[in-house]
Amino acid sequence: MQFRGKLTDEDLNDLRRVVRSKMYWPKLFVANWYGLMLLCVVLWATIAGLLGATHPNWSAVGVLWVVLLGLFTWAFYSVKRKMAKEFLQLNATLPDWISLVDDGTKLNGPNGATGFWPWNNFKGWRERKRVMLLDMQTGAFVILPVGELSDPERQPIRQFLRLHIPSASATAASPV
């Protein structure tokens, strides 16, 4: 079985859902607590002013909202730009083709580079809608982009992995 090694944007998004820790979002909010606190203070001041509890300087409140929206917009687009750059770098390092053969996994990379991992280097595999991850003993993984395959077309791949990776039945996840 042979797979293309390069990822699409959708594949990368699905990959992030698999490898992102469960504490990703709480850590993100805690790391940016100062921005959230500032947003809460300005929101509270605006609501209190609209309800008549306080008499704020509306032009200053408007400037604060414009500055906050500008900061959030800048942060959003800078993260998007950074992620696009990282995606290009990741795709440049991924193999062009991944082949699953009876004795292991063969990788044919850019500029003629090749790699091979026997099946005993793998401890299991995980699956999402667009990617399958073959988990290695070292903690690394091989990414199989399977987004263009339907569920019946993936069934032989699952059977092949169960046959060749001894503990695959324990770690295989159903597609979400």
Q: What share of the chain is helix, strand, coil (3-state, %, to 5)?
A: 55, 20, 25
Q: Find where tokens 């698999």 sit.
A: 18
pLDDT digits (tens, 9 = 90+) for 95-137: 888 888 888 889 888 777 888 888 888 888 888 888 888 888 8
Read off the pLDDT of residues 153-162 as tens digits, 9 standing for 90 and up: 889 888 888 8
Q: Taking 70 as the threshold, does the pLDDT of residue 24 lie above it?
A: yes
What is the spatial distance between Cα 56 and Cα 61, in angstroms, rounded to a whole number? Answer: 7
Is residue 167's pLDDT more than 80?
A: no
pTM for the predicted model, two decimal places: 0.65
What single string gives the DSSP state of each residue in 147-159?
A: TTS-HHHHHHHHH
For residues 108 and 114, the answer to whether their CB atoms sit within 8 Å is yes
CA dihedral 50, 54, 56, 61 (to 10 degrees): -50
Tokens matching residue 157: 């791949």
Length of the chain as a residue count: 176
Average pLDDT score over residue span 7-34: 79
